[in-house]
């Protein structure tokens, strides 16, 4: 279809807008620049967790043992947390809500330890999944998105978001549109 150049100012250094139904690019600015994904990393975490659920490795109702690294008081200062604490009982479902709504770094850590036993092993798994999706510039060293050494491009991350929505469409209603937490 005919495309005309968008006349808009985007304050961000880079970005992209795609039609999720077909992948067509509607707007792009420096879409192939390598940038840190920051808290958007949680989408990759959720993608991997939903795969683990589909594979029978865990369930939404599984109660997750919280290691000290997942307690909110041990998260970096001024980082986003859902407020996990020692002795708290939380399920995978609740941690997914903590990721989607509060952008909880503590929730990301809890899920990483729950599925793989460490942040490093979970990041290895996330990186393998990104490779499986054909994302060559998307790489993670932590599950929270806090590290400046995580990397992606707007174009690749749009591809991940599209794959996530296509494979797990219920996540939009159940987690990303939740009316409360």
Residues tagged active-site: 39, 42, 103
d(CA 181, CA 82): 9
d(CA 172, CA 177): 6
Q: What is the helix, strand, coil percentage profile of the chain, to 5?
A: 45, 10, 45
CA angle 181, 72, 148 (to 5 degrees): 100
Greatest Cα pair distance, the chain, in angstroms, is: 58
The residue behind tokens 């330890």 is: 113
CB 23 within 8 A of CB 162: yes
């Amino acid at each position: 279809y005919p495309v005309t150049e968008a006349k808009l100012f985007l304050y961000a250094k880079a970005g992209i807008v795609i039609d999720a139904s077909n992948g067509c690019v509607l707007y792009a600015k420096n879409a192939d620049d390598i940038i840190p994904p920051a808290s958007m990393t949680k989408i990759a975490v959720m993608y991997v967790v939903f795969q683990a659920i589909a594979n029978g490795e865990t369930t939404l109702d599984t109660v997750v043992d919280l290691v000290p690294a997942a307690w909110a008081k041990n998260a970096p200062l001024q980082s986003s947390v859902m407020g996990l604490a020692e002795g708290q009982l939380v399920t995978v479902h609740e941690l997914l809500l903590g990721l989607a709504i509060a952008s909880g770094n503590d929730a990301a850590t809890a899920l990483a330890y729950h599925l793989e036993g460490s942040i490093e092993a979970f990041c290895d798994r996330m990186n393998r999944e990104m490779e499986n999706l054909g994302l060559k510039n998307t790489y993670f060293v932590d599950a929270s998105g806090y590290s400046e050494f995580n990397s992606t491009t707007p174009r690749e991350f749009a591809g991940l978001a599209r794959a996530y929505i296509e494979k797990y469409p219920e996540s939009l209603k159940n987690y990303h549109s939740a009316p409360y937490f």
